[in-house]
Amino acid sequence: MKKKFLAILLTAAMVAGLTACGSSADQSSQNAATGETTQSGTEDTADAAATTTEGGKELAVQVGPDPETIDPALNSAVDGGNMLLHAFECLLTVDQDGNLAPGQAETWETSEDGLTWTFHLRDGLKWSDGSDLTANDFVYSWKRVCDPLVAAPYAETVLGMVKGYSEAIEGNLDALAVSASDDKTLVVELDTPCPYFGSLAAFATLSPVQQATVEANGDAWATAPESYISNGPFYMTEWVPGSHITFSKNPNYWNADAIKLGALKFVLMEDPNAAYSAYQTGEVMMIKDVPTEEIPSLDGNEEFYIEPIIGTYYISLNIEKEPFDDVNVRKALSLAIDREYVAGTLMQGTYTAASNFMGPGWADPTGGDFMEKANGGKPYIDTTNFEANLEEAKKLLAEAGYPNGEGFPTISYTTNDAGYHTVVAEYLQQAWAELGIDLEVNIVEWSSFTPMRRSGDFEVARNGWVGDYSDPSNMLDVLRSTNGNNDGKYNSAVFDAAMDASNQTMDAAERSKALHEAEDALMDDMGCIPLAYYNDFWLQSSKITGMWHSPYGYWYFMYADITE
């Protein structure tokens, strides 16, 4: 009897279960829908508000996955930088032509000796919450960047030359010689002249942050719209981690009248195929992550853009190990590479063959493009004449004591597996086999690869650098004997001396000469093997107007509009 009852109960449960399945699924999706309705509801209201008050539209773009942080002091990634650019404004900005332009500071001047920089802020600057922004906010923010408890990755890059930096980084923040002589004047004193300090004053790490919100919320201030107070053209109104971050027009921004969009939505996608689908359906109007297998079909498409960024894909040779200590070996390895084929065919034209270490986009101190003035206007490596290069490579290898590669040890090439890295590795195997050299390819997971390369645990390794600002010292510094990023341990007294000279002069012509001398020395020693210049390639709807892309890898949407 009891059993029978149980059986009936079970049957009932099954049936109920079966019917409930449908309804509970319905219900949960309904809940989901209502949950989301409130969400999209607020979005709608925000949109509506934007439409009624500012007449703005929402632009959805994809520039990368969830940023690790969008705290200006902590960010070191380009996708975070793209968001900071829209939320914050530094003392100076970089305009569409790559020149420094007034930002929060209306004017600025440098003392004769180049050691004192004075910035004069605009009138009536405000935070996104409506409170006043003064020079003291910059003093607080810059000192915060030095705070060992904040541990900002870019502290030394952007403030290392400021007087009192070494004490500040030990915890004595007030030692940093940054002060506000009044609410509108910021004075910075440097230890050594820094001709490119203007570029640093436009660098996102030195954005102002509001003391009140940072102190009230700790590290978490930069994770929620309520506490994320900013001073740029947009301010954060929503962040759903792993989904999207929405920035709305900041009515308190000094140039708010020029902002046409009501909102800018960063869709946080990681998968290029997903991004491409969303672009095709029109859900996103610009995507940075285009699947590489689609590139051939996008050739000639007017919505597909390829533009250079300041950065070079290069190969590090471990110069402390034999046979890479021989300059002829290094040159032979370099010349045996058909760069046009690598960049144009293997990398599908998304990279450009590198003839120099410093590619297009770097600003020469005397004005114009650094690359055009390098090596007397000639490329260091003639990438268009591969046959001659290969002959030369064979000759150099023979001079080094390895005719036809005889006696040359088997060498290994270490890389992580992403993008075109493996394809390049396989190509190098073939290319260097022409010289009679055997190459083993060693593919290592990304997180293990970086420490391996840094500790010198490799023979030949993939490497690359993308500039943070367009002063050539930003990338040339990497090859200084003392630099932590000098993975190949290139060590040249001539190079180091030229870099020192470039840092000690405020004279543009002298500085330019010193920097070019440094690159000459590097290329003469073949301290590393430049392979290709980075480009950004992306898809963007022709309906977007008024935006631009900079050689720093940033997309400027603040003055963009959407045409119907």
Partner 1 sequence: MAKYVVKRIAMAIVTIWAVATLTFFLMNMVPGGPFLSEKAVSPQAMAALEAKYGLDKPLSEQYVTYMTDALHGDFGDSLKQRGRTVMSIIQTKFPVSAKVGGMSILVAFCVGVPLGCVAALNRGKFLDNLISVIATCGIAVPSFVVCTVLMYFLGVNLKLLPTFGLTSWKHYVMPVMALSFYPMAYIMRLMRSSMLDVLGQDYMRTARAKGLGQFKILFKHALRNAILPVITYLGPLTAYTLVGSFIVEKIFTIPGLGGEFVGSITSRDYTVIMGTTIFLAALMVVMNVIVDILYKIVDPRIKLN
Residues from 214 through 233 that contact partner 1 (CB under 8 A): 218-223
Nearest approach in angstroms of CB 68 to partner 1 is 5
What count of Cα atoms within 13 Å lies in the side-chain half-sphere of residue 127? 19
Exactly one of 32, 216, 443, 509 binds partner 1 (CB under 8 A); that residue is 32
What count of Cα atoms within 13 Å lies in the side-chain half-sphere of residue 333? 30
Exactly one of 24, 181, 192, 384 binds partner 1 (CB under 8 A); that residue is 24
Nearer to partner 1, 54 or 71 (CB): 71
The C-alpha atoms of residue 478 and residue 288 are separated, in whole angstroms, by 27
Rule CB under 8 A: is residue 76 a binding residue for partner 1?
Answer: yes
Longest dimension (CA), the chain: 103
Nearest approach in angstroms of CB 43 to partner 1 is 8
Rule CB under 8 A: is residue 448 a binding residue for partner 1?
Answer: yes
Cβ of 187: how many Cβ atoms within 10 Å?
A: 16
Nearest approach in angstroms of CB 142 to partner 1 is 16
Rule CB under 8 A: is residue 454 a binding residue for partner 1?
Answer: yes
Taking CB under 8 A as the criterion, which residues in 141-160 touch partner 1? 148-149, 151-153, 155-156
Binding pattern for the stretch 309-328 against partner 1, x by CB under 8 A and - elsewhere:
--------------------
Nearest approach in angstroms of CB 343 to partner 1 is 20
Rule CB under 8 A: is residue 267 a binding residue for partner 1?
Answer: yes
Token output for 349: 């034209």
The C-alpha atoms of residue 324 and residue 320 are separated, in whole angstroms, by 7
Taking CB under 8 A as the criterion, which residues in 466-485 touch partner 1? 483-485
Q: Which amino acid is at 81?
A: G
Query: 62 Cβ partners below 8 Å, 6+ apart?
Result: 266, 267, 268, 269, 275, 278, 279, 284, 286, 287, 288, 289
Enumerate the H helices of 131-242 as residue ranges.
135-146, 155-159, 165-168, 197-201, 211-217
What count of Cα atoms within 13 Å lies in the side-chain half-sphere of residue 361? 26
CA triple 45-49-55, angle to 5 deg = 135
Nearer to partner 1, 22 or 377 (CB): 22
Report residue 118: phi and psi, to 5°.
Answer: -120, 130
Nearer to partner 1, 20 or 256 (CB): 20
Query: 549 Cβ partners below 8 Å, 6+ apart?
Result: 305, 307, 536, 538, 555, 556
Nearer to partner 1, 108 or 276 (CB): 276
Contacts of the segment 416-425: beta carbons below 8 A, 24+ positions apart: 416/443, 416/444, 416/445, 416/446, 416/449, 416/462, 417/443, 418/446, 419/292, 420/292, 420/346, 420/347, 420/351, 421/462, 423/346, 423/347, 424/313, 424/342, 424/346, 424/347, 424/462, 424/531, 425/462
Nearest approach in angstroms of CB 27 to partner 1 is 10
Nearer to partner 1, 35 or 367 (CB): 35
Taking CB under 8 A as the criterion, which residues in 104-133 touch partner 1? none
Rule CB under 8 A: is residue 447 a binding residue for partner 1?
Answer: yes
Rule CB under 8 A: is residue 273 a binding residue for partner 1?
Answer: yes
Mapped onto helix, strand or coil, the DSSP state of residue 119 is strand
Exactly one of 44, 132, 271, 406 binds partner 1 (CB under 8 A); that residue is 271
Nearest approach in angstroms of CB 289 to partner 1 is 12
Rule CB under 8 A: is residue 30 a binding residue for partner 1?
Answer: yes
Taking CB under 8 A as the criterion, which residues in 478-537 touch partner 1? 483-485
Nearer to partner 1, 65 or 436 (CB): 65
**Applying CB under 8 A, what is the total number of residues that bind partner 1?**
72
Token output for 103: 């930002």
Candidate segments 66-74, 325-333, 342-350, 506-514, binder of partner 1 by CB under 8 A? 66-74
The C-alpha atoms of residue 460 and residue 397 are separated, in whole angstroms, by 17
Enumerate the H helices of 190-271 as residue ranges.
197-201, 211-217
**CB burial string 21-36: b at 16+ within 10 A, e below:** eeeeeeeeeeeeeeee
Rule CB under 8 A: is residue 277 a binding residue for partner 1?
Answer: yes
Exactly one of 422, 464, 517, 520 binds partner 1 (CB under 8 A); that residue is 464
Nearest approach in angstroms of CB 217 to partner 1 is 8
Taking CB under 8 A as the criterion, which residues in 234-253 touch partner 1? 240-244
Candidate segments 21-29, 340-348, 384-392, 490-498, binder of partner 1 by CB under 8 A? 21-29
Nearest approach in angstroms of CB 280 to partner 1 is 5
What count of Cα atoms within 13 Å lies in the side-chain half-sphere of residue 407? 10
Nearer to partner 1, 446 or 542 (CB): 446
Nearest approach in angstroms of CB 60 to partner 1 is 10
Taking CB under 8 A as the criterion, which residues in 353-412 touch partner 1? none
Cβ of 549: how many Cβ atoms within 10 Å?
A: 17
Cβ of 527: how many Cβ atoms within 10 Å?
A: 23
Nearer to partner 1, 238 or 338 (CB): 238
